Structure formats: C-alpha cells, structure tokens
Amino acid sequence: MWAVSTLTMLVLAGILPDFRLRSADGSSATDIAVTAALGAGAFGLLSALVWPLLVRLLLLVPALVLGLLVFFLNGALLWVALRVNPVERGSAAPETAVVVAAVMSAVASATGGALAVRDDDAYRRRLYRLADRRRRSGPPCPATPGTVFVQLDGVGHDVLLAAVDKGLMPTVARWLGTGGDRPTHRLTPWRTDWSSQTGASQLGILHGSNFDVPAFRWYEKARREVMVCNRPTSAAELQARAIEHSGHAGLLAEDGASRGNLFGGGADEQALVLSIAARRRGPAARSRAGYFAYFSDPANAVRTALSFVAEVGREIGQSVRARIRGQRPRVSRGGLYPLVRAFATVVERDVVTAAVMGDLLAGRSAVYADLVAYDEVAHHSGPTSRDTEQVLRRLDRALALIENVTEHAPRPYRIVVLSDHGQSPGETFRSRYGLTLGDLVRAGCGLPVPRRARRTHSGAEARAAVRAALRRPVEEGAGHYRPSRGSEPVVLASGNLGLVSFPDVPHRMTKEEIDARHPALLPTLANHPGIGFLLVRSERHGGVVLGAYGAEIPLDDLDDNPGPLAPFGPGAADVVRRTHTFPHTADIMVNSFHDPADGEVLAFEEQIGSHGGLGGAQSRPFLLSPLVVSAPVPEGTELTGAEQVHHVLRRWLTEADESGTRPLPDHRERAA
C-alpha cells in the first residue's frame, strides 16, 4: 500500500499543476521519489493515527456534515504530511490537496481491499482485532449460537420472490435453494396489522406490543398532540408505552444490539436508533458513536462520500428520464429528495452494515438492524420499478457480506431476514381526483376548500434518519395542535389510511354525534369512489364499517357480511376490530379504495408506492428463517400481526440459548 501510494503521489504530481514534490530550482529524480515515498508514508500514518481522533472529536458534528468534511480533513492531513517531510517540503494548493488526498485514500483503499465493504478480508481483520480487544475486556463469549435479524424495510413477500426469480438477489436465492443448492432457509409470509407501517410493525416486533398505534401519525385529544412514529420524542413515548404494556424490556434485552431502528428493543448497544435521538447526552451520544466505527476509517469515509454523490446523480438522472418518458403514476422527486435517497441507500446502509459486522465479531447474542433503502426509493419510484431493482441488488450484497463475516465470528450465527411491511402501487388520491383527503373532509363539513391542495408530509422512514443524522432540534411544540377554529377537523394521512379527528370534542365521537354536527360528512366520504371504507364508533352497535350506497355493517357482523371489506381479503375484519379497541383511534378512520385485480391503492400522501393501511402487497411482508430453527407457525396456519412475530423471534432466541454448538476455534486458527 505504501508503494502504491507513493506511485499515486508521483502520478498526481505530474498531472496536477498546483501539486509539487520538488523545489523551484529543481531536484533529482531520486529526491523526488524519496519525497513522494516519505510524503505517502506520513499521510498513511496520519490517516491511521490522527484520523480516528479527529472523527471522535467531531461526533458532535452532524453525520452528513461530517461526510462533507471528509475531503477537507483528508486534504489537511496531506498538507501536514508534506510539511513534515525531512527531505524536501512539497506544496499543494488547498483545493488540490483535497483532490490528492481523496484520490490517494481511494487508491489505498482499493489496494488494501478496504474500499469495498463487501467481502473484504482486510476490513474484516481490522474489525476482528477491535472486536477481540472488546471481548478480552468483557465477559467470555458464550458457546451458544447468536442471532442476527436484518430488516429489509418495505420489501414485500411477492417483491422478494420476484427479485429472486430475476436473479437480483443471488444470496437469498442460494438460501432458498432455488438454483439447485441445498436450501438453508424457509420463506414465510405474514400479515400486518391495519397500520402496515414501520412504527407499528417494528414496535410490535421489538417490544412485543403495538397496542394503541392506529397509524403512522394520529391525533391524541388528551395531550392535544399529533404523534408521529418517526419523530424522536414520539418514538421514545411509544417505546415506553410498549414496555409498560408488554411487561418486558424488549427482544434485545439480553446482550443485544439495535442498529438503524426506530426503537431500541431493550438493547444495551444502540446506534442510529431514533427513540434516543432526541437526547443530547447518555444513550444518544452512544447512538451517534455508531458513526465513529465507520467513519474512523478514512477509506470508508471517502468511499461513502463518493458513493453518496454518485447516488444523488443517479436519482437526478432517473427522475429526468421518468419525466421525459411521461411515466405514470409519478410524484415530485425534486428538492432535498435526492439527498434523502442517497442517505438511505448509501450512508445508512454502509454505517448500519458496518455496525452489524462489529457486533458479530464481538459475539453479541442478538442483533437487529433495519436497512431502509428499498422503502425510500419505492415510495417515489414505485415498488417494482427498475430503480428499486438496483436497490435490491445492493441489499443482497449487504446480506452476503454479513454472511461472510459470520465465518469470522467467535460463535456461530443464525441469520434471519424479515420485512416490516410491503408496499402497494398506485397513483395518489390527489392526482386522481384533484383534491386531498383534507379537502374532501372540509367539503363534507361545509368548510371552504382551498383551490390548491396542500401536500402532506412524506412518511418515509429515511427522512427521520436524516433528521437524526443532522441532529436537527426536535421542536417540542411542533406536534401540538392549536386550532384556529374550534370545530375544524384534524386530518392526517398515513399512506392510504386517513384519520379524521375533532379536537374540540374530548372523547371519540360516535356516528350519531358526527351526523348531528356534520350531516353530509360521512355520506360524502363513504360514497366517494376513492374511499374503500370508514370505521366509526356507534352508540347502537359499538363500532360500524361504512361503505358506499349506505352500507353500514356492525363490527360483530363482519365475518358473515364483510360488506365494503370484501375486496381487502381475509383477516381485514380482525385487524379493523382490533384497531377499534385502541384508545386513540380517530373519530373517523378512512381506508382508500383498493383494486384486488392489480393490487393498487390510492395514497393520501404524495407516494406512488405506499403503505400504512389495508389493500394489496403492503399487508404481506415476509420472514426468512434458517431451517435449524423451529417453524414460525404450524403448517397451514397464518402468521398474523407484529406481536406474533415478536413471540416467534423470542422463541428462536430461547432455542439458541438452550442449544449446543460447535467448539470454539482458537483465535490464532481463526486469524490464519
């Protein structure tokens, strides 16, 4: 690496006019070569010794800003390396030093195998040394198998199978034995709750309870606050409620690690976890330290920064191509979205994957990590687009890397891959009908409707990760509702699920009360062609589902007469009845139209791939588990609800604790 770095420095000195390795009066070729060799050596030493200290000092800097500082810090190290050269001091303009340092870091990374995180012996050896020191300072590693849970956010069961059939995910295909290999895993679909989104699903999976999470965002009358699953303060509150309701700390309470998730799962080791992102000290500092493990290697920092820029360019190109081709449906992909996408598909993926690698080499008993790349891209490009196929390829590479690292771990590992929900395609409610759900509600209430519909905020999980990485201050008052008019409803969207609440009424209103106040509202909503069904409380029946043409089915009668729930398939009645029992269910729950023929829904947000309600693939995620663990459910039984998935995962952890394992090899044998 030293020799290649020296040659790189010589080549750059010959190409760049503002980079000089000799004095103005000239130097011999030998002096120039020695200068380059000493400069490259000094730069390598400074990168190895000083860079980690700089990154640790810069943990207070937002992660995305740190990524941009990578180049400038590298340039400063190169300038110092040239100045301390005992033979002859080279010189470089500041902007040239940045370029030279970036090129040298990239070349050194490629040479040493540390540029590409995947299948990287040098990188794994470095992590193994760090993990070995961690193990020596802590308790001995147990001999029982560990388990790593990798969540592919938003990847539905059918999307995964299609990707395997197209050859996009060879690692998953090998595990399933589709190419003639002996299968090592089984694939099980499962059915989400009505709220088919990460907040409800991951809370149930990690903490065993998603009770009273009716949607991605909802209004709580007692607190006069809008709860949003990807707001740090709301995530912390939801996690505390789940712990109280379930009676235990979470899935990862025993020697666990939580990486890139909305919730901690009871893990002691947490990095990039949203529920602690609002804190400034303590666990929040440990969470931000997850960036240190990755960015402390300047090669990784440069690689990720370059990949980030490339991904921004890729998104802009794909967006322009979609507009030129007149692709429909289509949503706006401008503004900050290219940066958000690049963060989700590059920075978050690389940092979380590296953190999981460190956990495996440290021998942790349980690791749960969320990779949000697919979900973010599918929201704007569609669940089955060419854009998402590229993301699935890269996610499969991350799985292959994790599998390779388990071979170097101090204990055997079982890899479980799962998703929290799928995504359903379809144009937006606004683009089809020219108005938002809020406009329709206002019209039904006899309130003025603005000419230009107001866009709802995206529910993409990656945006929360970006805010946490930027350490944007959490506005404690931002979620509190301050009504300008006492009777105006609060209308919120969670994918194709809408929630209507009347903040001036302290309790959940009944159908009779709503009809008395706004006689046209419920008929307006129920008969609109873009609405599938409504759920409201009834003084007479306890709860009723409303549909077009005056359909009104009590919840107790849905099994015999599903009415407007019929297009949503088996299980719809159960999840609707469960949501009806939640204390914070909205006055009116609105689910969009669903076409069973093509699986399309109409999102109330600006997304052409959406999730959050009932209808289509969004309610059908997957669970990919090793054959060595017990079957998730008996054959012929459906796995339903995130809470049941939690119990299955806990059972597997218990089985691992009770099982025997192979003898641990000597560390020297493993290193060899």
Q: What structural domains and CATH numbers belong to the chain?
A: 2-112 (no CATH), 147-213+228-275+336-425+618-671 (3.40.720.10), 429-613 (no CATH)
Look at residue 119 in the predicted model and tell me its pLDDT.
Answer: 42
Phi and psi dihedrals of 466, rounded to 5? Answer: -65, -45
Give Dmax over CA atoms of the chain in angstroms.
98
Look at residue 132 in the predicted model and tell me its pLDDT.
Answer: 62
Which has the closest alpha carbon to 407: 115, 141, 125? Answer: 125
Which has the closest alpha carbon to 376: 417, 416, 415, 347? Answer: 347
Alpha helices in 411-510 (DSSP H): 429-433, 437-444, 461-470
- Provide the token pair at 241: 């409620």
Q: What is the pTM of this model?
A: 0.81
Average pLDDT, the chain: 82
- Per-residue pLDDT of 239-283, as tens digits, reads 999 999 999 999 999 999 999 999 999 999 888 888 887 665 555
Q: How far are the Cα atoms of 35, 122, 260, 274, 360 from residue 264, in angstroms, in the given order?
A: 51, 31, 9, 8, 18
- Provide the token pair at 651: 């059972």
Alpha helices in 605-666 (DSSP H): 642-658
Look at residue 297 in the predicted model and tell me its pLDDT.
Answer: 67
Phi and psi dihedrals of 217, rounded to 5? Answer: -140, 140
- Per-residue pLDDT of 68-124, as tens digits, reads 555 556 556 666 666 656 555 555 666 566 666 666 666 665 565 444 444 445 555
Residues 223-248 as b/e (b if ≥16 CB within 10 A, e otherwise) read: eebbbbbbbbbbbbbbbebbbeebee
Radius of gyration, CA atoms only, the chain: 27
Q: Going from the first residue of the chain to its last (672 residues), give the mean pLDDT of each consecutive group of 10, the final group possibly shorter.
A: 74 69 55 70 69 61 52 61 58 63 64 46 58 60 92 98 97 92 95 97 98 97 94 94 96 94 93 77 51 68 80 91 85 87 90 89 94 95 94 96 89 97 96 92 87 49 51 42 63 96 96 95 95 96 95 96 95 97 98 96 95 97 97 95 98 88 36 32
Rounded to whole angstroms, the Cα distance separating 590 from 607 reads 17
End-to-end CA distance of the chain: 21
3-state secondary structure of 459: coil
Helix (H) or strand (E) holding 232: helix 232-246
Residue 258, CB-side half-sphere exposure with 13 Å CA sphere: 30
3-state secondary structure of 28: coil
Which has the closest alpha carbon to 19: 93, 121, 102, 87? Answer: 93
Look at residue 477 in the predicted model and tell me its pLDDT.
Answer: 38
3-state secondary structure of 536: strand
Residue that the structure tokens 């993990």 belong to = 131
59 and 292 in contact (C-beta within 8 Å)? yes
- Provide the token pair at 165: 């059939």
Q: Report long-range pairs for 319-325 (Cβ below 8 Å, ≥24 apart).
A: 322/381
Look at residue 529 in the predicted model and tell me its pLDDT.
Answer: 95
C-alpha of 526 from chain center: 34
